[in-house]
Structure 1
Amino acid sequence: MKRFLPWIIGAVVILGIYSWVKGINNTAVTLSQTVEQSWGDVQTAYQRRNDLIGNLVNTVKGAADFEKSTLTAVIEARAKATSITVDPKNISAEQLAQFNQAQSGVSSSLSRLLVTVEKYPDLKANQNFLKLQDELASTENQILTARTRFNEAVMPYNTHIKTFPNSLFAGIFGFKEKAYFQSVAGAEKPVEVKF
């Protein structure tokens, strides 16, 4: 029995190391999948906004002799925003910044559209327009929630792959740090309201 003891101890140690490394990998895979699912939720919320913008623009076109440049700016910003894609498996800070910048353009042009609408009393009273405006406000809240949940999913993933000794194996298994959603440059400044 004594001559098998070193073999038994060696097998237990190897099995223990295998289980430990397997746990590191499987946890990283699970956390990565959560990040990807959260990114899908962000994209779904932005897609809903893009769909609503199309309906909003058509309603405004039909209800008023509207400034064409404002409508064109909204349509172009929407097209630019939908052309940017981010790979959820390799989310980088650069990709998120580019995506965020495009979405910021949509928000900016949409704000100009809504401010310009104030000049048209008939449009402001249009039930379709009011309903779309309410849905758009609700969608903006959904976008905020989806972005927050995305960042909440990224944090445990990044923490897991960056802590020692997990960091030793994360690179071997191909796990890379994922970027957080950041606000657009200048978002910390208060909005200037003029009457």
Structure 2
Amino acid sequence: MAAEAALTQALGRLFPVAEAYPQLRACENFADLKRELAGTEDKIAYARQFYNSAVQSLNTAVQTVPTSIIAGFGGFCAEPYLEAVGDERADVSVRF
């Protein structure tokens, strides 16, 4: 989650700089960067989905009998889902 927050913060600083420099916006390397960032965002969304699926399995096991008895002895408990809040879910776009 910390890495995602750092990425969001860095993107928030990068795109205003790109808007100020038209040569940068026209550069093919910047277009490649934009595609790579879109791929990274997709990977983060997939990782969040994978984590939430694992948490759902854990929470189901912790709350059903007989695994709830074993979970109680082992100190296992239900875990919260990982959710993006506020501007973390905002779409990042670059306009040319």
Same-fold call, TM cutoff 0.5: yes
AA at the equivalent of 2:31: L
1:125 aligns with 2:6: no
1:82-130 Cα offsets, whole Å, 9 max, x none, are xxxxxxxxxxxxxxxxx35x63353034123113211211111222222
Q: How many residues align?
A: 91
- Distance of 1:143 and 1:176 partners within structure 2: 25
Separation in 2 of the partners of 1:146 and 1:128? 27
Offset of residue 188 of structure 1: 9.2
TM-score under structure 2 normalisation?
Answer: 0.73
Moved over 3 A (4+): 187-191
- Equivalent position SS for 2:73: coil
Q: Which of 1 and 2 has higher RCO (CA within 8 Å, sep 6+)?
A: 1
Judge conservation of contact 2:4–2:44 (CA < 8 Å) in 1: no
Q: Which runs of 5+ in 2 are unaligned?
A: 92-96
Q: Distance in 1 between matches of 2:17 and 2:54?
A: 38
Contact 2:62/2:71 (<8 A) preserved:
yes
Stretches of structure 1 lacking an aligned partner (at least 5 in a row): 1-98
Match of 2:16 among 107, 110, 115: 115
The percent of aligned pairs where both chains have the same amino acid is 40
**TM-score, L = length of structure 1:** 0.40
AA partner of residue 152 (structure 1):
S
1:164 aligns with 2:65: yes
Larger radius of gyration: 1
Q: Counterpart amino acid of 1:182?
A: E
CA root-mean-square deviation: 2.7
